[in-house]
């Protein structure tokens, strides 16, 4: 179903009923093979709630570190909205759009609205990869997230990247955009995407193949908006609504300021290219979570003060770097003075909504944004040690914006722009360990420099700000990768089949031999996580060169698993290092990481009188200390392999019927009714009945 036009209003205010008809209207593809996960739309940008149309998903996408993203507690999304506007001057619409002449014509995709029939019109959308994702089974069920979110249309083993999204979009001004988004699984390059845009004056103003016009486009500007909100789990922890849309996001820019702009600036990117080592060596904009005037603590890094762990829940620094922008349609060399606009604009200012390509006054206002130039001082320099949510009395924070141009494009002319979007910061274990020191007020504190302080916020912020350096290193690696023509050493592929089977005294793993044809293949490693998939994993088995099991095998029995726990696995192939100067590479965890649990199954019970229920009583206040990974579950142990469990209220109302058919002695109830509602405190009766009609009655107590 196509959307004719959608305009979404103020952040935080949504009419869900009015959006029901538009849900999932735009096709979306995910890149989920590295440690940064992102979704991309067929019309060429990722506007606010543009994937689900649900306001609760205002922070949605650019998930890092993706291995710790999971429901319901861990949400590492950092994106609120991305937009792309294209403008030109003295333009006359094609007759099918009214034939009106505008001093400034602007077509829009986002940050809140989109029109896929008359503005940005999708033509082609596909994903390619070196190989398809593996088939992963857990107890006969599809067990990998990629089996649902990695839809490959083309396989090309010679691709220099692991995944590529390709889309073609026509616009109502006759510019056709071809966008390619590249993703990598190399461990040094898995936290960024590279996007290549080619904008060509084709004269095609709609979705068919016919060319409607042939005219030169003047003063063409390409304008991107990046509304980052770092991070979803950090924002949720604060119990403040506004961090969800980035009201306290801090922003900064590099590469635009010359020494003539102030003594605090050492030079722009072109100065660096010309040999000034003190000048900015990157053209980039980035963001991080700043302070909030309504918070009870310093929110930099979002330390978990709510649940008392102290863990830094927003260590991310996120941003975009320019890798290339054509000097002109005729000169394809990189222009070091592009982008010509690097600004920060209020994310809820009128030009962000509604956008109307037939309203000359609105387009004149948008043109001012698009051609503003470099806004100095930078956002973080203006905010200083203050609160970004109070700057200019903003209701919704600020977005980074950058504009490229102006270009003149005659019929058939094109320009190319390449950017890298990445996320980096402190690793999860450091966030846990340093956060515990912060919450425990365990002075003295050691700073990254080795100096010591007694101020816990100075300590916290110094460590969080190491993420800025990490992001700059990420951009540097992306640039090197791009300039090399994507000549990265390739990790080996994973096996194309991986199966996990739960048993009574072991969990059995087996896999195919397909990866062993890789020229530098050296072996396999098996990793295991406990209780949930979005957690730390430990190596539990390895075979091949340099391991304690040098013989290559394709099976492993996990006999160290403990009954009552859920287990998750991934399997990686590794190479001998010959393709990477002696450094061994291994396949990404996400190829085979399971989302379905495996566990030791009890033998079926033979005596109904031996059935046990645990925990009983169930106390909601103690849920984290009861069944690990099943905090809301009540377990029935020693039950027959085939039986029905019916749960009633104390007065005899049927709450839930569970058909137990797997032949084991275990079953679990998540305390919900047949309609998915969570039950209230009270006494409940459970009746276990065998196919032969034998019954056992049990009493349960739930305290919420």
Tokens representing residue 156 in the block: 């090309």
Mean pLDDT over all residues of the chain? 93
Tokens representing residue 483 in the block: 């300039």
- pLDDT of amino acid 25: 61
- pLDDT of amino acid 602: 81
Given a contact cutoff of 8 angstroms between Cβ atoms, the answer to whether 245 and 12 are in contact is yes
* Per-residue pLDDT tens digits for 78-124: 999 999 999 999 999 999 999 999 999 999 999 999 999 999 999 99
- pLDDT of amino acid 17: 32
Torsion of CA 140, 144, 145, 148, to 10 degrees: -50
Q: Is the pLDDT of residue 5 over 90?
A: no
| Averaged pLDDT, 219-228 | 98
How close are the terminal C-alpha atoms of the chain, in Å? 44
* Per-residue pLDDT tens digits for 516-548: 999 999 999 999 999 999 999 999 999 999 999
Task: Find, among 229, 389, 382, the residue nearest to 294 by Cα.
Answer: 389
Tokens representing residue 397 in the block: 């924070």
Angle between helices 428-440 and 456-464 (to 10 degrees): 170
**Backbone φ and ψ of 658, nearest 5°:** -120, 120
Could you count the other beta carbons within 10 Å of the beta carbon of residue 562? 10
- pLDDT of amino acid 140: 87
Query: Which residues does 393 contact at the CB level (< 8 Å), separation at least 6?
Result: none
| Averaged pLDDT, 298-318 | 97
Task: Find, among 160, 181, 195, the residue nearest to 487 by Cα.
Answer: 160
Task: Find, among 153, 142, 160, 28, the residue nearest to 592 by Cα.
Answer: 142
- pLDDT of amino acid 579: 87
Beta strand spans in 374-496 (E): 398-409, 414-424, 445-446, 452-453
DSSP 39: E
Could you count the other beta carbons within 10 Å of the beta carbon of residue 209? 7
Tokens representing residue 36 in the block: 């940064």
Given a contact cutoff of 8 angstroms between Cβ atoms, the answer to whether 649 and 692 are in contact is no
Task: Find, among 142, 87, 511, 469, the residue nearest to 286 by Cα.
Answer: 469
Burial of residue 230 (number of CB atoms within 10 Å: 0-12, 13-18, 19+): buried
**Backbone φ and ψ of 291, nearest 5°:** -70, 165
- How far is it between the farthest Cα atoms of the chain? 89
| Averaged pLDDT, 27-39 | 97
Query: Which residues does 544 contact at the CB level (< 8 Å), separation at least 6?
Result: 522, 523, 524, 550, 552, 574
* Per-residue pLDDT tens digits for 632-687: 889 999 999 999 999 999 999 999 999 998 788 988 899 999 988 999 999 999 99
User: Token match 């690793």: residue?
Assistant: 427
CA 646/CA 655 separation, integer angstroms: 8
- Listed range (16-20, 323-327, 349-353) with the worst mean pLDDT: 16-20
| Averaged pLDDT, 558-562 | 95
Task: Find, among 220, 171, 217, the residue nearest to 411 by Cα.
Answer: 217
- Listed range (23-27, 28-32, 276-280) with the worst mean pLDDT: 23-27
H or E element that contains 301: none
Q: For the chain, what percent of residues have pLDDT higher than 90?
A: 89
Angle between helices 456-464 and 466-483 (to 10 degrees): 0
Burial of residue 457 (number of CB atoms within 10 Å: 0-12, 13-18, 19+): middle
Pick the residue with more confidence: 25 or 477? Answer: 477
CA 163/CA 130 separation, integer angstroms: 7
Is the alpha carbon torsion for 535, 539, 543, 544 positive or negative? positive
Q: Is the pLDDT of residue 10 over 80?
A: no
Tokens representing residue 649 in the block: 């209220």
Instruction: For the chain, give the number of residues.
Output: 704
Q: Is the pLDDT of residue 8 over 60?
A: no
- pLDDT of amino acid 127: 98
| Averaged pLDDT, 350-372 | 95
pLDDT confidence of 696, banded at 50, 70, 90?
A: very high
- pLDDT of amino acid 624: 60
- Sorted by where each starts, the structural domains of the chain and their CATH numbers stand as 16-128+158-291+313-423 (2.70.98), 497-591 (2.60.40.10), 608-703 (2.60.40.1930)
CA 289/CA 230 separation, integer angstroms: 5
* Per-residue pLDDT tens digits for 561-605: 998 899 999 999 999 999 888 999 999 999 999 999 999 988 889
User: How far are the Cα atoms of 329, 338, 339, 439 from residue 270, in angstroms, in the given order?
Assistant: 21, 10, 12, 44
CA 560/CA 665 separation, integer angstroms: 20
């Amino acid at each position: 179903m196509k959307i004719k036009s959608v305009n979404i209003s103020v952040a935080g205010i949504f009419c869900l009923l009015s959006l029901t008809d538009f849900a999932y209207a735009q096709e979306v593809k995910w890149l989920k093979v590295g440690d940064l996960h992102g979704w991309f739309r067929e019309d060429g940008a990722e506007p606010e709630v543009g994937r689900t149309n649900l306001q609760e998903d205002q922070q949605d996408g650019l998930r890092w570190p993706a291995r710790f993203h999971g429901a319901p507690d861990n949400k590492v999304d950092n994106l609120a909205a991305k937009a792309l506007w294209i403008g030109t001057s003295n333009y006359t619409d094609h007759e099918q759009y009214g034939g009106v002449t505008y001093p400034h014509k602007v077509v829009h995709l986002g940050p809140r609205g989109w029109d896929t029939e008359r503005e940005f019109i999708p033509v082609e959308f596909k994903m390619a990869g070196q190989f398809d994702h593996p088939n992963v089974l857990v107890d006969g069920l599809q067990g990998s997230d990629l089996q649902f979110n990695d839809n490959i249309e083309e396989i090309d083993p010679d691709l220099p990247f692991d995944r590529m999204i390709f889309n073609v979009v026509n616009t109502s001004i006759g510019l056709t955009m071809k966008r390619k988004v590249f993703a990598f699984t190399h461990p040094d390059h898995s936290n960024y995407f590279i996007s290549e845009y080619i904008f060509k004056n084709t004269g095609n103003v709609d979705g068919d193949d016919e060319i409607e016009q042939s005219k030169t486009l003047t003063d063409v500007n390409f304008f991107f908006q990046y509304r980052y909100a770092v991070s979803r789990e950090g924002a949720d922890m604060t119990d403040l609504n506004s961090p969800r849309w980035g009201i306290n996001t801090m922003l900064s820019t590099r590469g635009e300021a010359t020494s003539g702009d102030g003594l605090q600036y050492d030079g722009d990117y072109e100065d660096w290219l010309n040999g000034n080592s003190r000048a900015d060596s990157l053209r980039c904009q980035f963001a991080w979570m700043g302070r909030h005037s309504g918070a009870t603590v310093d929110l930099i890094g979002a330390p978990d003060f709510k649940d008392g762990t102290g863990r830094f829940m927003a260590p991310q620094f996120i941003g975009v770097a320019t890798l290339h922008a054509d000097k002109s349609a005729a000169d394809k060399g990189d222009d070091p003075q592009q982008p010509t606009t690097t600004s920060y604009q209020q994310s809820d200012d009128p030009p962000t909504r509604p956008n109307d390509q037939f309203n000359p006054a609105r387009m004149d206002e948008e043109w001012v944004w698009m051609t503003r130039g470099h806004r100095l001082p930078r956002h973080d320099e203006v905010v200083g040690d203050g609160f970004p949510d109070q700057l200019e009395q903003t209701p919704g924070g600020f977005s980074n914006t950058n504009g490229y141009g102006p270009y003149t494009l005659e019929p058939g002319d094109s320009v190319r722009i390449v950017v890298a979007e990445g996320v980096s910061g402190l690793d999860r274990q450091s966030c846990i360990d340093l956060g515990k020191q912060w919450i425990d007020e365990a002075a003295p504190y050691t700073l990254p420099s080795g100096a010591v302080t007694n101020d816990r916020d100075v300590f916290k912020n110094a460590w969080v700000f190491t993420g800025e350096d990490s992001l700059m290193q990420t951009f540097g690696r992306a640039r090197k990768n791009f300039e090399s023509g994507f000549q990265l050493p390739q990790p080996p592929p994973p096996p194309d089949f991986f199966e996990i089977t739960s048993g009574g005294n072991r969990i059995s793993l087996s896999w195919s031999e397909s990866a062993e044809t890789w020229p530098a293949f050296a072996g396999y490693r098996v990793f295991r996580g406990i209780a949930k998939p979005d957690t730390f994993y430990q190596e539990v088995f390895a075979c091949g060169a340099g391991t304690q099991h040098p013989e290559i095998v394709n099976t492993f029995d996990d006999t160290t698993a403990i009954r009552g726990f859920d287990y998750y696995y991934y399997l990686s192939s590794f190479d001998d290092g010959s393709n990477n100067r002696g450094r061994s590479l291994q396949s990404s965890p996400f190829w085979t990481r399971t989302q379905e649990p495996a566990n030791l199954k009890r033998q079926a019970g033979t005596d109904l009188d031996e059935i046990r229920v645990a925990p009983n009583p169930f106390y909601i206040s103690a849920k984290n200390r009861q069944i690990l990974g099943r905090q809301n579950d009540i377990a029935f142990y020693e039950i027959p392999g085939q039986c029905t469990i019916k749960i009633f209220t104390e007065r005899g109302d049927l709450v839930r019927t569970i058909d137990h058919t797997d032949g084991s002695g275990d079953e679990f109830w998540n305390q919900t009714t047949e309609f998915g509602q969570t039950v209230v405190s009270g006494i409940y009766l459970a009746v276990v009945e065998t196919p032969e009609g034998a019954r056992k009655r049990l009493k349960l107590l739930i305290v919420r």
